[in-house]
Structure 1
Amino acid sequence: MDNESELHAFCQELTGASWIALDTEFIREKTYYPQLCLIQLATDSALACIDPLALGDLGPLEPLLLDASVTKVVHAAHQDLEILYLKTGAVPAPVFDTQVAAGLLGYGDQIGYARLVETVLGRSLEKGHARTDWSLRPLEAEQLAYAADDVRYLAEAYPIIVRELERLGRLDWLEEDFRALSDPARYEPDPEGAWQRVKGTQHLKGRQLAVLKHLAAWRERQAMRSDRPRRWILSDDVLLELARRQPTDLRGLGKVRGLEERTFKRLGEELLSLIREGTALPKEQWPVLPERRALAPEQEALVDVAMGILRHRARENEISPAAIASRRDVEAVVCGDRDSDLVHGWRARLAGDAIRGWLAGSLQIRVRDGEMELEK
């Protein structure tokens, strides 16, 4: 679908729909921002592949994406929502993420779309176009069929997943998780926080982290301004080496491993200036790495038992333990952290409350016929 009149007619056809299945195809290997190349939409009676490259703006589609009465059904929603937010300035809402929902049905943690379709519908998907360049035109019939399948089967699976969640009394458990997916703050670029995504940051400390934060924020803004991948500006390894060595002149800068000669010639003085600015920051402005919680031996023992409770509750409810919480989440509960996801919402009802009850002494663990039991 590559003209506005067709798109308008399709959106009119969807009037009154309570939900739509949504997927996107994009590329970002050579850019900072993802380039939206295709939008696929489907209900139980309609399907379309929409070409945003031909349309320019999404026109009549935007109100549909933002219509609060229409649930947008997406699998592994983050990237699709991010690109639509960057394209339209708003996050589609409300959202139903079938990957998250599948975790509550015991299908596995972070299940892929092909596996979900096989599990729910018993169908095998064609994988031949997984690495295709969606920006090239015209798209072949096989590519469009592949893209259409991403919403065709999603539209078939969604009602089944909802019915199963309702049967288990778990449909409302996901409201908080899905509401968070529509928060625009999740998709805003954050230059000041870019240092936290640099691989190897844990090996730096003190003023080195201050220099890294300054350099990483500069790199992020450069990538955003030029719409190029971060690694094309400077690699993570070079950022770390600059922060570690903190060269003060071009001679020292030239000894930094991995710094390309053309980058040295073009950006040498600017990099030295950034390093000087980073080293001049007062200590109170230095970034601090998240503390790695050091548990006492008796706390480690408590965590081991609490993990057993988590696995027990997960098995009782036929859910993957990883879909409920990680060991780090359990450590936080043992240490009395009230911000852990495990003490809020459905995760608390499923396992967190039992762990906290055991820690408080209001629940005890018994073994009967080789099986764990929790009793008041």
Structure 2
Amino acid sequence: MSAPTYAACPGWRWIPNSSASRPITPQLCLIQIASADRVACIDPLALPSLDPLLDLLYDPAITKVLHAAQQDLEIFYHLRGAVPTPVFDTQLAALVLGHGSQIGYAALVQQLLGVELDKTHTRANWRHRPLAPEWLAYAAADVRYLRELYLRQQAALAARGWLDALAEDFAALAVPDRYRLQPWEAWRRVREHNRLRGVQRAVLRALAAWREERASTHDRPRRWILDDAALLELARRMPKTPDELSRIRGLPATTVQRQGEALLARIATARAEPPEQWPVRTARSHVSPEQAAKVDEMLRLIAARADHNRIPSQCLADRWDVEKLLLGEDSPLLHGWRAAMVGRELLARLTADSNPQAAPDR
């Protein structure tokens, strides 16, 4: 059997903002891509069309290896209205293999390969031509090691029997609804949104919609506009003044300077909505005291399994995920790497507890 084909792709480079007061529309300025035997930096400004490259990347026979894949896949979606498959996300694989949550590419290369990457040119103006040789070397390094990371991670996952489980998570990255513009529903994709109450959810809905609109208008990943943690903190505290806004944890000073008025206006409008217009969070089923004790027991097992695998327990599951599993509802613990790591075991225990006569002797 011949070896599979790999494409490590792309390190998309965008032109930075031209002024502190008004961000310009970003422009795709450089694409880095690597195969098994070469690395290329592609200049989209010099090409009449990217279609030949995209035809290659959308070939289902080619595995696309990316780091923090969702941002790149979002760009693909906006280019063609679909996401290329199959993909392998080295950041997600790194989480499952105990290398930390949201680890950066350079840090992962350092951990696994012992190579220290130069990040000097992170904020270079990639629209400038000609591109300096040291810029191109920096850009090439951003994809040069992806294939080796992929091979090592694939072997480690196979040794643990988790390859098929991760394949389910990677396939979920290609679901179009992840990238389709639905501003008024975007708040539901913010993790931990169910921790908010009443008018806080209305504020989150307004802010998440604002982020969607800006991401679409400027062709930028959502996190480049505002990350989820900052959205949640804004919704919790609902600042009314620029001074209060500046004290929001995780909100960049540049965002306060450039978008502060827009954020405060959205928050004020959402706070003025009548309660009957507030978004309703997904109903949380009630658990009995006996069931709550069972949830506590399951959370202890999850914490132990997470600690064993060097994974933050909150990345594996939270209390609501466990409650849904206990109540027979759909839960992240039933899917992908979470199911492989602990979810199937928890489900087997619940089944045995509900039918003790069928349970094996212990």
TM-score by length of 1: 0.69
Specify whether residues 303 and 170 from structure 1 end up closer, same or farther in structure 2 by C-alpha distance, changes over 3 A only.
same
Shift of 1:102: 1.9
Q: Which of 109, 116, 119 in structure 2 is aligned with 1:117?
A: 109
1:329 aligns with 2:321: yes
* One-letter amino acid matched to 1:64: L
Shift of 1:357: 3.8
CA contact (8 A) 1:66 1:93 kept: yes
Supply the distance in 2 between the matched residues of 1:63 and 1:81 (Cα, whole angstroms): 15
1:353 aligns with 2:340: no
Specify whether residues 56 and 326 from structure 1 end up closer, same or farther in structure 2 by C-alpha distance, changes over 3 A only.
farther
- Residue 288 of structure 1 corresponds to 280
Ranked by relative contact order (alpha carbons within 8 Å, sequence separation 6 or more), the top structure is 2
CA contact (8 A) 1:33 1:224 kept: no
CA contact (8 A) 1:26 1:134 kept: yes
- Residue 12 of structure 2 corresponds to 25
Shift of 1:131: 2.9
Partner-residue secondary structure (3-state), 1:235:
helix
Specify whether residues 33 and 76 from structure 1 end up closer, same or farther in structure 2 by C-alpha distance, changes over 3 A only.
farther
Question: Highest Rg: 1 or 2?
Answer: 1
RMSD value over aligned CA atoms?
A: 3.9
CA contact (8 A) 1:200 1:240 kept: no
* One-letter amino acid matched to 2:272: R
1:343 aligns with 2:330: no
C-alpha offsets along residues 297-330 of structure 1, whole Å, 9 cap, x if unaligned?
A: 6555433321221133345556554553334422
Shift of 1:223: 7.7
* One-letter amino acid matched to 2:303: R
Q: Which of 179, 195, 219 in structure 2 is aligned with 1:187?
A: 179
CA contact (8 A) 1:72 1:96 kept: yes
Q: Which of 53, 68, 73 in structure 1 is aligned with 2:45?
A: 53
Partner-residue secondary structure (3-state), 2:126:
coil
After superposition, residues 28-177 of structure 1 pair within 5 angstroms as 35-177=27-169
Supply the distance in 2 between the matched residues of 1:93 and 1:346 (Cα, whole angstroms): 19
1:311 aligns with 2:309: no
Specify whether residues 135 and 184 from structure 1 end up closer, same or farther in structure 2 by C-alpha distance, changes over 3 A only.
farther
CA contact (8 A) 1:75 1:99 kept: yes
Specify whether residues 200 and 179 from structure 1 end up closer, same or farther in structure 2 by C-alpha distance, changes over 3 A only.
closer
Specify whether residues 299 and 82 from structure 1 end up closer, same or farther in structure 2 by C-alpha distance, changes over 3 A only.
same
Specify whether residues 224 and 73 from structure 1 end up closer, same or farther in structure 2 by C-alpha distance, changes over 3 A only.
closer
Specify whether residues 169 and 139 from structure 1 end up closer, same or farther in structure 2 by C-alpha distance, changes over 3 A only.
same
Specify whether residues 221 and 146 from structure 1 end up closer, same or farther in structure 2 by C-alpha distance, changes over 3 A only.
closer
CA contact (8 A) 1:71 1:94 kept: yes
Runs of 5+ consecutive residues of structure 2 not aligned to the other structure: 227-257, 355-359
Partner-residue secondary structure (3-state), 2:51:
coil
1:240 aligns with 2:267: yes
Specify whether residues 24 and 31 from structure 1 end up closer, same or farther in structure 2 by C-alpha distance, changes over 3 A only.
farther
* One-letter amino acid matched to 2:330: D
Specify whether residues 122 and 322 from structure 1 end up closer, same or farther in structure 2 by C-alpha distance, changes over 3 A only.
farther
TM-score by length of 2: 0.71
Q: Which moved more, 1:303-312 or 1:290-299?
A: 290-299
Runs of 5+ consecutive residues of structure 1 not aligned to the other structure: 1-15, 247-278, 364-373
* One-letter amino acid matched to 1:352: G
Supply the distance in 1 between the matched residues of 2:211 and 2:158 (Cα, whole angstroms): 47
Supply the distance in 2 between the matched residues of 1:298 and 1:225 (Cα, whole angstroms): 50
- Residue 371 of structure 1 corresponds to none
Partner-residue secondary structure (3-state), 1:20:
strand
CA contact (8 A) 2:165 2:340 kept: no
Supply the distance in 2 between the matched residues of 1:201 and 1:346 (Cα, whole angstroms): 24
Shift of 1:167: 2.5
Share of identical aligned residues, percent? 45
CA contact (8 A) 2:7 2:63 kept: yes
CA contact (8 A) 2:154 2:163 kept: yes
Shift of 1:80: 0.7
